[in-house]
């Protein structure tokens, strides 16, 4: 039936970075389409607040408190997931992880480098790797990685963001091929400038300059990025894998 193509009823999703911005919008959209969601963040207070609000709205939601700057976090996350779901089955993995370190390349320290690599790349790799046995138990599993237009458009003093996001795009393609025998689809979404907390650091003049370079003449709302990510999780997207949807209002054209 047509309605089944646009439903996630009965599906389980695990989302990293889901208490605000794009991650929270993805979680809300998944739940609105019928999925049960487990959210991950390092701030327990934010997790409890979001989980309670969504439960009050009638959704099924759980949380796992974890800091992905810790290399052991991906292992601990799936141990906690086992405690929530004893059958250890996962349908949807959303890797919404990423920090931006804006510094001249020559001033980046070894600690800077290791921290960004751990947060933006190593943690995603490990979450995919550790999630494989759980996804293999699903009948229609998928992974969606949230990257950035830094993959496609170089910007000054953002070399580490570009490097790690580009690596995630290649990881997406590689896993789409390697894990296709398990029927796991792997895709990515690369957002452009989006109305999240990060935009508060920009002056009005900077925002105006950014908008002038976007063909749609505005920045995105988190729900618009979430729509692209959640579409890739739907049965309607069952023949899409190894792709990266660029959701940037045309700014990379």
178-202 residue pLDDT tens: 999 999 999 999 999 999 988 888 8
Predicted pLDDT at 198: 81
Summarize pLDDT for 88-134 with one digit per residue, the tens.
999 999 999 988 899 999 999 999 999 999 999 999 999 999 999 99
Predicted pLDDT at 222: 97
- Average confidence score pLDDT of the chain: 95
For residue 232, give the nearest of 245, 223, 221, 220 by alpha carbon: 245
Maximum pairwise Cα distance, the chain = 57
Q: Considering the domain 2-247 in this protein, what is its CATH number?
A: 3.40.50.720
CA distance 54 to 190: 26
The model's confidence at residue 156, banded by pLDDT at 50, 70 and 90, is confident
For residue 198, give the nearest of 220, 175, 181, 179 by alpha carbon: 220
- What are the domain boundaries of the chain? 2-247
């Amino acid at each position: 039936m047509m309605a089944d193509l646009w439903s996630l009823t009965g599906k389980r999703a695990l989302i990293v970075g889901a208490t605000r911005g794009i991650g929270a919008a993805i979680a809300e959209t998944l739940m609105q389409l019928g999925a049960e969601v487990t959210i991950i963040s390092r701030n327990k207070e934010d997790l409890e607040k979001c989980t309670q609000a969504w439960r009050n709205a009638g959704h099924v939601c759980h949380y796992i408190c974890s800091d992905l700057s810790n290399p052991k976090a991906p292992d601990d996350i799936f141990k906690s997931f086992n405690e929530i779901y004893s059958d250890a089955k996962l349908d949807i993995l959303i890797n919404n992880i990423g920090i931006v370190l804006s510094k001249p390349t020559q001033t980046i320290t070894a600690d800077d480098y290791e921290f960004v690599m751990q947060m933006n790349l190593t943690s995603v790799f490990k979450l995919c790797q550790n999630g494989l046995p759980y996804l293999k138990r699903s009948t229609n599993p998928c992974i969606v990685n949230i990257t950035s237009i830094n993959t496609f458009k170089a910007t000054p003093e953002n070399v580490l963001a570009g490097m790690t996001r580009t690596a995630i795009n290649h990881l997406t393609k590689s896993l789409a091929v390697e894990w296709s025998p398990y029927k796991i689809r792997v895709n990515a979404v690369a957002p452009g400038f989006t109305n999240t907390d990060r935009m508060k650091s920009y002056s009005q003049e900077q925002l105006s300059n950014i908008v002038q370079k976007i063909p749609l003449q505005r920045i995105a709302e988190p729900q618009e990025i979430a729509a692209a990510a959640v579409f890739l999780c739907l049965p309607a997207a069952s023949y899409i894998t190894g792709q990266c949807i660029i959701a940037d209002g045309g700014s990379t054209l």
